[in-house]
Structure 1
Amino acid sequence: MSLFPNAEQVEALPEQWYTGTLFAPSPALTDADSYTIEPYVSVNVPKGAYNSSGTLKKNHAQTSVSQFTASYYGITDQLTLYASPAYSYSWGDHSPHSGVKFNDLPVELQYRLTSHETPSVTVYLGFDAPLGSYSNLGNANEGVGTGVWDLRYGVQAQVVYPFFQRVMRIRMWAAATQPLSSVRLRNISSYGTETGFKGRGYSAQTGNEGFSLEFGLTKRWVFALDLYHEWSASSEVKGIYRQTKERYYSRTGWSGLFNVGPALEYGWSPDIGAIAGVILPVAGHNASRDVQAQCAVFVSF
């Protein structure tokens, strides 16, 4: 028995309408001049933080809501341009609100190594543009960016299988970002500095890897599940507080977070659908535990 279904087996599968899961990246689009958008709304509710030993402790953090739109344009049948502009707003915890903030902007080229969508392997290469506020802030909650250009890269694989009388789609991926420079910081910043500071920040490498399952319940209804791990390397801050002449150095530890993301998808047609679910952190270290309720609409042109 072959590990991957062949073209004839795929064509024999029942029709299934997908939107994609809450977190897993999608393969490159299959048609040139096609366009897909997925506007998301995410509400993040803080539920403590994991310390260095993985014990969950209380922490003081704000509730936040963000809106981001994953946008895909098929340049060719195998090459896709991706961008995801995002806004966010945070409030609560007896602290000043952030105001509506534009976040750093991820942009990627996605190339599918196969001529078909399943099984398929897609590679990613792009950047994060430093558009979010990060330095000389009115308050710490306004910091939503890193201030540096990041290189983005990754790989994703997808395959579909028969699942009883319906279809199961599996995606696996690994992705990372690499900062390309350090950044000058002044006063209050997203790196944890306070008024009077002058120095430099060194952003951390970040990444995630995991797999997702989508089980067809009917042609229109799909149960989706993401299982993935997020990580961040150490970041550093070096500088001086001008008034006191006090030298300052800070280095964070590595952090990691394991997440589960169940959701339900519904399709009105092959090109229009919606998804709603929640991302639940289940274990980690040196990381905040934020429960994320998400919903999105999927539209393909």
Structure 2
Amino acid sequence: MQPRHGQQRPAPILPILFALMALATTAAQAQTPEDAGQVRFTGPLVSSAPPLPKGLLNIEPYLINTQTVAHYDTDGHRRDIDRAADDWQIAVPIQYGATDRLTLGITLNAAYAQGLRSERHLATGDTRLSASWLLAHGTGRHQPKLTISARQNVSTGQHDRLELQRVPGPTGSGTDSTTLALDSQAYFLARSNLRGRAGIAWRLPGADAGLHGQSSYGTHAGFKGNAELGDGMVANVGAEYSINSHWVLASDVVYEYEDTTRVRGQDELGAVDVTLPSSWRLSVAPAAEYHWSDNAGVIFGALVSLDGRNSAAIVSPQVAVNLVF
């Protein structure tokens, strides 16, 4: 679909989100002295958590609605699209504290997307395996933590032969790629009710996706070949402010970068050798958290793109329930 100049259509989720966050702020007026002494966090929408204590199990299912409202072109100009895409995703991260320093995890993904006849179908997405190691844990009021992680993407979603699928869009990358990450966390203020996180993740270059037919890499029916990915990077800074034992305000700032991808193969017209350009996107993810207890809470917010190049401009409202066993 070709982009065009125009005004961005309003996203009705944003006024609702800001109203809910204002409600969370107002709830602070009702806190009791007991509430003021309790600090609970679920975690921002994007920033990664340090390893769990030994024996703890954490499950945090997400429901995500991604609305592609525009596109950033090769010059970084934002251009509206004729028909905004509206896709639903279910993500279920599951983590287990194998030791006090090592946490093992798996994230299951599925898409609930519109088919060719406007009906919706459920399709599997890629699966991610992870292992996180606590490198350092400081003492004192700030309790800083530094974590290193390895994440392996397993290609269980659909990325090619899209002309034959009930859900015509991609739900996976087609690559078994490896990502290394470094994440940090610390507490601030007198009650330690401000928690900050920062992290950077680097996807190793050279991941390869076999392609047949129409694919997420711009190929069409009749194509046979492969796509070799360059490296990728995600950097984020997040913060959470605990108002009382129930309500928390949170936000992330996220920068995503994708290096060039080379697509090579054959189609009905002959040899194909194309290099897809690099891309980047800057987003913010405001959110609010509500906690029923030390072991259960909910976070709701939205990831909203602010700027980018060769990437989609998105508004992605989402909600997750955090459960610790």
The one-letter code of the counterpart of 1:281 is: S
Aligned equivalent of 1:40 = 62
Which 5+ residue runs of structure 2 have no aligned equivalent?
Answer: 1-35
More displaced 10-residue stretch of structure 1: 146-155 or 199-208:
199-208
Per-residue deviation at 1:64? 0.4
Residue-pair matches, total? 284
Is residue 187–residue 195 contact of structure 2 (8 Å, CA) maintained in 1? yes
Aligned counterparts, 1:27-106, within 5 A? 27-29=50-52, 31-59=53-81, 62-91=85-114, 99-106=121-128
Which residue of structure 2 aligns with residue 4 of structure 1? none
CA-to-partner distance for each residue in 1:30-57, whole Å, 9 max, x for gaps?
x211100100000011110111221100
Comparing both structures, which one devotes a greater share of its residues to helix?
Answer: 2
From 204, 207, 227, give the equivalent of 2:233. 207
Q: Is the 8 A contact 1:124 1:155 kept in 2?
A: yes
- Does structure 1 residue 125 correspond to structure 2 residue 147? no
Deviates more, 1:151-160 or 1:139-148: 139-148
Q: Which amino acid aligns with 2:255?
A: H
Cα offset, 1:135, TM superposition: 2.2
Amino acid of the residue matched to residue 175 of structure 2? V
Q: What is the TM-score with the length of structure 1 in the denominator?
A: 0.88
1:246-266 deviations in Å (ceiling 9; x for gaps): 222222211111111111001
Shift of 1:180: 4.7
> Is the 2:183–2:198 Cα contact (8 Å) retained in structure 1?
yes
Does structure 1 residue 141 correspond to structure 2 residue 168? yes
Q: What amino acid sits opposite 1:57 in the alignment?
A: R
What amino acid sits opposite 1:25 in the alignment?
A: S
RMSD: 2.1
- Say if 1:108 and 1:152, in contact at 8 Å, map to a contact too: no
Query: d(CA) in 1 for partners of 2:129 and 2:84?
Result: 29
Partner residue of 1:185? Answer: 211
| Alignment match, 2:220 | 194
Q: Which residue type is aligned with residue 131 of structure 2?
A: L
Q: Is the 8 A contact 2:59 2:323 kept in 1?
A: yes
Match of 2:204, SS state, is: strand
Corresponding letter in the other structure for 1:182: D
1:184-209 Cα offsets, whole Å, 9 max, x none, are 32111221111111222113422210
Q: What's 1:17 paired with? A: 40
Q: Please report how far the alpha carbon of residue 283 of structure 1 lies from its aligned counterpart in structure 2 after TM superposition.
A: 0.8
> Who is 1:112 aligned against?
134
Q: Does structure 1 retain, via aligned residues, the 8 Å contact 2:223–2:266?
A: yes
**CA distance, structure 1, for counterparts of residue 145 and residue 192 of structure 2:** 20
Deviation for aligned residue 1:116: 6.2
Aligned-partner Cα distance in 2 for 1:89–1:203? 26
CA contact (8 A) 1:14 1:167 kept: no
Q: Tell me how far apart the structure 2 counterparts of residues 136 and 190 of structure 1 sit (CA, whole Å).
A: 9
Letter in 2 for 1:148: T
Q: 1:32, 1:99 → 2: CA distance?
A: 39
Distance 1:14 1:119, change over 3 A: farther
State how far apart, in whole Å, the 2-side matches of 1:34 and 1:62 are.
38
CA contact (8 A) 2:211 2:224 kept: yes
Deviation at 1:172, TM superposition (A): 0.5
CA distance in 1, matches of 2:290, 2:267: 54
Would you say 1:264 and 2:322 are equivalent positions? no
User: Normalised by the size of structure 2, how large is the TM-score?
Assistant: 0.82
* Residue matched to 1:169: 195
Letter in 2 for 1:223: L
Tell me the SS of whatever aligns to 1:24.
coil
Aligned to 2:9: none
4+ runs deviating over 6 angstroms: 94-98
Percent sequence identity over aligned pairs: 25
Any conservation in 2 of the 1:65–1:88 contact (CA below 8 Å)? Answer: yes
